[in-house]
Amino acid sequence: MMKFTQKEEVAYLDGCRESLDKARESLLYQQVHGQIREPVISKGEGRALNLDGLRREWIRFTAGALKAVIQDPVSRESALSLSSFAVSESLPLELVNKLAVIKVSEDLKRYLTLASVPDELLSPDVTHAPRRIPLEKAVHDVLERNDGDLNAARYDLEKKQRAGQLDAITQEEADLVIQRYRFARDVKLIVLAALLQESNS
- CB atoms inside a 10 Å sphere around CB 105: 12
**Distance in angstroms (rounded) separating the CA atoms of residues 152 and 27:** 13
pLDDT over 60 at 197, yes or no:
yes
Whole-model pTM: value is 0.74
- Which tens digit of pLDDT belongs to each residue from 42-65? 888 888 889 999 999 999 999 999
| Pure H helices in 72-170 | 73-80, 91-98, 106-113, 135-145, 152-167
Report the distance separating Cα 92 and Cα 100, nearest Å.
Answer: 12
**Mean pLDDT, rounded, for 192-200:** 94
Name the burial class of residue 49, with classes exposed (0-12), middle (13-18) and buried (19+) by CB atoms within 10 angstroms of its CB.
middle
Q: Evaluate whether 195 touches 79 at the Cβ level (below 8 Å).
A: no
Residue 1: band (very low, low, confident or very high) from pLDDT cuts 50, 70, 90: very low
Nearest C-alpha neighbor of 168 from the set 196, 144, 133:
133
Tell which wins on pLDDT, 181 or 19.
181
The pLDDT, as a whole number, for residue 44 is 82
Question: Are 157 and 118 a contacting pair, CB within 8 Å?
Answer: no
Nearest Cα residue to 56 out of 13, 104, 19, 5: 104
Q: Is the pLDDT confidence value at 140 over 70?
A: no
Identify the CA nearest to 143 among candidates 23, 43, 56, 42.
Answer: 23
Query: pLDDT per residue over 112-122, tens digit each?
Result: 999 999 999 99
Residue 131 has pLDDT above 50, yes or no: yes
Phi, psi of 125 (to 5 degrees): -160, 175
**Cα–Cα distance measured from residue 26 to residue 40, given in angstroms and rounded to the nearest whole number:** 24
**Does residue 96 surpass a pLDDT of 90?**
yes
Residue 24, pLDDT score: 56
DSSP code, position 35: T
The predicted pLDDT at position 36 comes to 72
